[in-house]
Structure 1
Amino acid sequence: MSYLVLARKYRPKTFSEMVGQEHVVQALTNALTQQRLHHAYLFTGTRGVGKTTVSRILAKSLNCQGPDGQGGITAQPCGVCPACQDIDSGRFPDYTELDAASNRGVDEVQGLLEQAVYKPVQGRFKVFMIDEVHMLTNTAFNAMLKTLEEPPEYLKFVLATTDPQKVPVTVLSRCLQFNLRPMAPETVLEHLTRVLGAESVPAEPQALRLLARAARGSMRDALSLTDQAIAFGSGQLQEAGVRQMLGSVDRSHVFRLIAALAAGDGRSVVETSDALRTHGLSAASTLEEMSAVLQRMAVLQAVPQMAAAVDETDPEAAETARLAAALPADETQLLYSICLHGRTELGLAPDEYAALTMVLLRLLAFKPAQAAQPATAPAEKKTLTQAEAAPAAAQVVAPVAVPVAAPVAAPVAAPVAAAVPVAAPAAPQRAPQAAAPAVQPQPAPENLSADLDTKPAEAPVSKAQPAPETVAIPVRTAPEPSARLQPQSPTGRAGAAARLVPTEEGDHWYAVVQELIAAEAITALVRELALQSQLLAREDGHWRLRVERESVNQPQARERLRAALEAAGHATQISVELGVVIDSPARRNAHAAAERQRQAEDIVHNDPYVQQLVRDFGAKIVPGSIKPA
């Protein structure tokens, strides 16, 4: 007697035997019980989820005669009457299955519909089952529309497809549609355990978990892989044999990689990648397994309560929970995204293992806590270049630019010659904002533009000068003078410097920091920590500092700053706290740069030649073009 594969031997015969499709079973069971039967059903879903099985069970439910031959429509077909047995064996004359993949033309559909005029020969209903119905041609669909909409009372249509998007909406609107979902790995695992128990085949739980994941939601694929694994393992299922058969990566390698990435151990990452090459394991499979583990880690991090419900019998679940606690949530999300996108890069590289190594090392390059890893110091320095550019930009030396634009140029400050007296009211408005008289910012020339715009009558104009309309042209043509001029305003540029409150310790700390920077004793993040810090007190070689941003307060940066101070003979110990900073080298640099900018703009605006150009020709100064020399 020939061997019957597990997928056919254990095909469900009743609705109660189906697994993973409870929503479809419940709807059909209630409809059969209440005799509310539709004339056309459409079952959609991926391969191996039970579309044909549901169709055959539905046909048996409609035609079951019961063990005594007196039964009627039922949701629990007996399985022993001639109708049930013939449908299971494929010999029932009133149940017709048409494969639309090979019979997709209008002639085949018309041949099937010609049988619809005849009543059932043996059963209670004729059932036409068309598998892969999306493969039919447009003319074939059109040929069956009328019969599908109003079939005889003894005819039922059952359509099945894996691609419902290709089915015309005219057909979809005539059918009762059910979507069969992919099987969860846990559901497949439970079913495989029952099947192998019935077959008396010994199997390791971890081997079954591998098969359940490899099935990718298809129960038929899971049973087919189980058949193959039984043959591969000579009648038994062992994890090593199943893993070798599937070519999947041992998750111990995956856990080792994630642990190394969490610890920032680049050497271990490269060594594990080389081990994968040595064993000939797939790079794509490695990234796939890593994505699966990272997904479970992200769930445990988002819902910590689930960590208590981890299956202790599953060693992978315990290891996943441990890694979820070791790797920060943001790095888990970053690594998951890198693994997903990295799979598309494997085919572009000449060596997939080199591409795998690059994908794994990418997390170390973009690791949020870069200062903790010495190996990433060059990347850290490059990243902080932009952060250091803010205070350094204030020291850029450039010649004083006095460009003169046409009347249609960008909006600029208002003329100064005729509006200098107007600047007086602006000073009392800014006085309360200053933290100390020593750092009181001077009125910005741009405020003249706003004052002229709102109160043009207050600006005194000499009788010998042209009409005020000529002076107001730059303000009138500016689309949004206040918004455009605000970034170039010395007051806006010195917003942080306005809160500077010079202290005695600040004078000493500023000199020390400038000395260390000049000697190149501190760079990158250490330099940024020193510039952003305020010296609070000096007590017997112990200096207390304060910063506002925690991102610059890294342990390695503090240690390097302490070593630089000790080497320069200043302090042997330092402590850094978080709080409000009112006097730091960065604030002093910003305040000095803002003062130089204000002086440069005053020089240009008060220049007699510039005033004459503005007054006589309507010239305007391009915002941002004035730089201190």
Structure 2
Amino acid sequence: MSYQVLARKYRPRTFHELVGQEHVSRALVNALDHDRLHHAYLFTGTRGVGKTTIARILSRCLNCEQGVSSQPCGVCDTCVEINEGRFVDLIEVDAASRTKVEDTRELLDNVQYAPTRGRYKVYLIDEVHMLSAHSFNALLKTLEEPPPHVKFLLATTDPQKLPVTILSRCLQFNLKALAADRIAAHLQDLLQREMIGFEAPALALIGQAARGSMRDALSLTDQAIAFSGNPLTEAAVRSMLGSVDRAHVLALLESLAEGGAEQVLAALDQVAEQAPDELALLDELISGLHALAVSQAVPGRQADERITALASRFTAEQVQLGYDIALRGRRDLADAPNPRAGLEMVLLRMVLFRPDGVVPAGGGGGTKKPVESGRSELRAVPAQPALQAQPQQQSSPQQAAKPELAAVPAPATRQGETDGAVWWAKLVAGLPIEGMLRSLAEHAALGERDGLNWTLVLEPGHQTLATAERLEQLSAVISQTLGNRVRLQADWQGSVSQTPAQQIAAARQAKLVKTRQLISQDPVVVALVREFGGQLDMDSIQPDEPTAI
């Protein structure tokens, strides 16, 4: 007998064998047992979660020779034929290959006729969202008032593409993606039946790689058995999936715990000798940071002693910020000209912006310890050398202790004021905001800054812009841009100068004056005016767009 793949061999044949869709099986079991059957059912969800399987189980329950019930016998001719896919009254249609309206009309021409063998004629239409608009129109009337001997079972991965007229005529069940641990537990049961040895971490890897799909998990298990043999080992599964060795991730986390850029890059050099995929390594690092956060919050949920030991060497703020940096870096990695350089930048951000002190000059040494009061010192916002106090200014002891916390200088020095205003305007120009949020940022000047607590100064006429909600939204956007959690508050002054809006207006005016001057001095224009007695309309000369700072 030829080998049968696990996905087909262990396909559920009753609702009680179904894994992870209790909310669906419970509703259908009750409907079958109490004879409250609808004429049309719609099953939605991602691939491999059981949509078609449930539809076949339901058709078996409807046509079992022992009677309609939630527990078909499985041995009668009807049940056997449905299992083998050759039951004449179960009409399975792949909508992706039959999108034309002629196909749908041909299908529906036989709806009026009674079933040949079974109790019900069941139409199972898979990927129903692929039907054309005309096909839906042809299906609509029959779906609304089908003959009593007809049941429609529809399945789709994209219910948003279905017309609301179709949705309103069906009972809809949304199937959930399965949790990785639930998949791993089911695989463990199946492998025990197959008498194949396994390592638990190997099944956990397959459960994660399946991304919620039991069918994908079973296919990966077949592939892993062919790759690894018996038993199924973690190392073999990692090699098959192209996953990064967990030891590499722990080495990077160890270096991050040390806190030095030199240690982190050295650890990455050692990992790079194994030639891992940078994106896969970053994914594993994100998983590691998640494990650290869980271990810190709920120690009992973490069984890995190495993670528990590492968790004690990080503050909660460090783990959360590192996770956020890694997650954002994952989206940016595709835009990096060199994936290795992109990964290095992500790791350096975790070091340079860690909220436990200030990196000394040179960046190679350790970090300052957290302050004894319990509050973590937040690192300075980078890339603002222009905002440092002028050499001739005297700084307070508090300022000397935190040289990287580049607050906006006091109004005593005009050039410090100008640099801060220009930097703020450039920051605002690059923010991905619009509407009222951009109006708030452009009409505000950057006032005093206490670490990462910033004050925006506005004139009283702009009070309606600075609502608490908008300040929080703007704080979030700036924090995302700079990689640090910035907190904004508003203050009011009778006159505010050098706001981004004022700088844009000034730049636009300067460009307008220069443009008019260049045009009026152009030799061709001068000759036309002189020879034809013309006059240049200065008001018609306008820049195309406001000038960005």
Residue of structure 2 equivalent to 1:55:
55
**Equivalent-residue separation in structure 2 for 1:17 and 1:319 (angstroms):** 37
Q: CA deviation at 1:487?
A: 8.2
Q: Decide whether the 8 Å contact of 1:83 with 1:92 is kept in 2.
A: yes
Residue of structure 2 equivalent to 1:286:
281
Cα gap change, 1:147 to 1:248, in 2 (>3 Å): same
Q: CA deviation at 1:80?
A: 0.5
Residue of structure 1 equivalent to 2:332:
345
Residue of structure 2 equivalent to 1:232:
227
Q: CA deviation at 1:369?
A: 2.4
Residue of structure 1 equivalent to 2:44:
44
Q: Decide whether the 8 Å contact of 2:184 with 2:203 is kept in 1.
A: yes
Q: Decide whether the 8 Å contact of 1:183 with 1:217 is kept in 2.
A: yes
Aligned residues: 392
**Equivalent-residue separation in structure 1 for 2:102 and 2:228 (angstroms):** 48
Residue of structure 2 equivalent to 1:407:
none
Identity of aligned residues (%): 50
Greater Rg over alpha carbons, structure: 1
Residue of structure 1 equivalent to 2:350:
363
Q: Decide whether the 8 Å contact of 2:261 with 2:363 is kept in 1.
A: no
Does residue 109 (structure 1) correspond to residue 104 (structure 2)? The answer is yes
Q: Could you tell me which amino acid in structure 2 is paired with residue 126 of structure 1?
A: K
Cα gap change, 1:377 to 1:196, in 2 (>3 Å): closer
Q: CA deviation at 1:118?
A: 0.8
Match of 1:322 among 309, 313, 316: 309
**Equivalent-residue separation in structure 2 for 1:40 and 1:112 (angstroms):** 16
Q: CA deviation at 1:31?
A: 1.1
Cα gap change, 1:134 to 1:391, in 2 (>3 Å): closer
Does residue 150 (structure 1) correspond to residue 145 (structure 2)? The answer is yes
Instruction: Identify which of structures 1 and 2 has the higher relative contact order when contacts are C-alpha pairs closer than 8 Å and 6+ apart.
Output: 1
User: What per-residue deviation string (whole Å, max 9, x for no partner) do you get for residues 68-118 of structure 1?
Assistant: xxx221111110111111100011111111001111111111111112111
Residue of structure 2 equivalent to 1:565:
none
Q: Decide whether the 8 Å contact of 2:260 with 2:363 is kept in 1.
A: no
Q: Could you tell me which amino acid in structure 2 is paired with residue 177 of structure 1?
A: Q
**Equivalent-residue separation in structure 1 for 2:408 and 2:38 (angstroms):** 75
Match of 2:256 among 261, 264, 282: 261
Q: Could you tell me which amino acid in structure 1 is paired with residue 311 of structure 2?
A: A
**Equivalent-residue separation in structure 1 for 2:321 and 2:142 (angstroms):** 55
User: What per-residue deviation string (whole Å, max 9, x for no partner) do you get for residues 250-294 of structure 1?
Assistant: 122112212322331322321232233221211101111122232
Q: Could you tell me which amino acid in structure 1 is paired with residue 493 of structure 2?
A: R
Paired residue secondary structure (2:42): strand
Paired residue secondary structure (1:347): helix
User: What per-residue deviation string (whole Å, max 9, x for no partner) do you get for residues 541-565 of structure 1?
Assistant: xxxxxxxxxxxxxxxxxxxxxxxxx
Residue of structure 2 equivalent to 1:24:
24
**Equivalent-residue separation in structure 2 for 1:371 and 1:155 (angstroms):** 72
What is the RMSD of the two structures over their aligned residues, measured on CA atoms?
Answer: 2.5
Residue of structure 1 equivalent to 2:15:
15
Q: CA deviation at 1:483?
A: 5.1
Cα gap change, 1:72 to 1:244, in 2 (>3 Å): same
Q: CA deviation at 1:377?
A: 9.0
Residue of structure 2 equivalent to 1:511:
none
Q: Decide whether the 8 Å contact of 2:92 with 2:123 is kept in 1.
A: yes
- Counterparts of 1:110-149 in structure 2, within 5 Å, are 110-149=105-144
Residue of structure 2 equivalent to 1:334:
321
User: What per-residue deviation string (whole Å, max 9, x for no partner) do you get for residues 193-238 of structure 1?
Assistant: 0111111111111111111111111111111111111111133311
**Equivalent-residue separation in structure 1 for 2:244 and 2:408 (angstroms):** 50
* Structure 1 unaligned spans of 5+: 66-70, 312-316, 399-481, 489-629
Match of 1:194 among 180, 189, 192: 189
Q: TM-score, normalised by structure 2?
A: 0.67
Q: Could you tell me which amino acid in structure 2 is paired with residue 33 of structure 1?
A: D
Cα gap change, 1:349 to 1:397, in 2 (>3 Å): closer
Q: Could you tell me which amino acid in structure 2 is paired with residue 273 of structure 1?
A: L
User: What per-residue deviation string (whole Å, max 9, x for no partner) do you get for residues 523-549 of structure 1?
Assistant: xxxxxxxxxxxxxxxxxxxxxxxxxxx
Residue of structure 2 equivalent to 1:396:
413
- Counterparts of 1:408-423 in structure 2, within 5 Å, are none
Paired residue secondary structure (1:320): helix
Q: Could you tell me which amino acid in structure 2 is paired with residue 393 of structure 1?
A: A
Q: CA deviation at 1:61?
A: 0.7
Does residue 307 (structure 1) correspond to residue 299 (structure 2)? The answer is yes
Match of 1:385 among 380, 383, 388: 388
**Equivalent-residue separation in structure 1 for 2:12 and 2:407 (angstroms):** 70
Q: Decide whether the 8 Å contact of 2:140 with 2:166 is kept in 1.
A: yes
Cα gap change, 1:484 to 1:101, in 2 (>3 Å): same
Does residue 484 (structure 1) correspond to residue 493 (structure 2)? The answer is yes
Q: Could you tell me which amino acid in structure 2 is paired with residue 57 of structure 1?
A: I
User: What per-residue deviation string (whole Å, max 9, x for no partner) do you get for residues 576-597 of structure 1?
Assistant: xxxxxxxxxxxxxxxxxxxxxx
User: What per-residue deviation string (whole Å, max 9, x for no partner) do you get for residues 24-59 of structure 1?
Assistant: 111111111111111111111111110111000000
Q: Decide whether the 8 Å contact of 2:291 with 2:302 is kept in 1.
A: no
Cα gap change, 1:153 to 1:358, in 2 (>3 Å): same
Q: CA deviation at 1:120?
A: 1.2
Does residue 276 (structure 1) correspond to residue 271 (structure 2)? The answer is yes
**Equivalent-residue separation in structure 2 for 1:216 and 1:396 (angstroms):** 58
Cα gap change, 1:394 to 1:174, in 2 (>3 Å): closer
Q: Could you tell me which amino acid in structure 2 is paired with residue 360 of structure 1?
A: L
Q: Could you tell me which amino acid in structure 1 is paired with residue 358 of structure 2?
A: A
- Counterparts of 1:443-482 in structure 2, within 5 Å, are none
Paired residue secondary structure (1:74): coil
User: What per-residue deviation string (whole Å, max 9, x for no partner) do you get for residues 1-30 of structure 1?
Assistant: 221111111101111111111111111111
Cα gap change, 1:362 to 1:125, in 2 (>3 Å): same
Q: Decide whether the 8 Å contact of 1:273 with 1:353 is kept in 2.
A: no
**Equivalent-residue separation in structure 1 for 2:76 and 2:131 (angstroms):** 34
Q: Decide whether the 8 Å contact of 1:46 with 1:218 is kept in 2.
A: yes
User: What per-residue deviation string (whole Å, max 9, x for no partner) do you get for residues 598-618 of structure 1?
Assistant: xxxxxxxxxxxxxxxxxxxxx
Q: Decide whether the 8 Å contact of 1:370 with 1:376 is kept in 2.
A: no
Moved more, 258-267 or 71-80: 258-267
Q: Could you tell me which amino acid in structure 2 is paired with residue 308 of structure 1?
A: G
**Equivalent-residue separation in structure 1 for 2:23 and 2:255 (angstroms):** 43
Q: Decide whether the 8 Å contact of 2:260 with 2:364 is kept in 1.
A: no
Residue of structure 2 equivalent to 1:99:
94
Cα gap change, 1:391 to 1:114, in 2 (>3 Å): closer
Q: CA deviation at 1:62?
A: 0.7
**Equivalent-residue separation in structure 2 for 1:258 and 1:356 (angstroms):** 14
Q: Could you tell me which amino acid in structure 1 is paired with residue 37 of structure 2?
A: L
Cα gap change, 1:187 to 1:147, in 2 (>3 Å): same
Q: CA deviation at 1:169?
A: 1.0
Q: Decide whether the 8 Å contact of 1:41 with 1:158 is kept in 2.
A: yes
Q: Decide whether the 8 Å contact of 1:276 with 1:282 is kept in 2.
A: no
Q: Decide whether the 8 Å contact of 2:318 with 2:356 is kept in 1.
A: no
Q: Could you tell me which amino acid in structure 2 is paired with residue 108 of structure 1?
A: D
Higher helix share: 1
**Equivalent-residue separation in structure 1 for 2:50 and 2:283 (angstroms):** 27
Residue of structure 1 equivalent to 2:524:
none
**Equivalent-residue separation in structure 2 for 1:340 and 1:299 (angstroms):** 17
Q: Decide whether the 8 Å contact of 2:326 with 2:346 is kept in 1.
A: yes
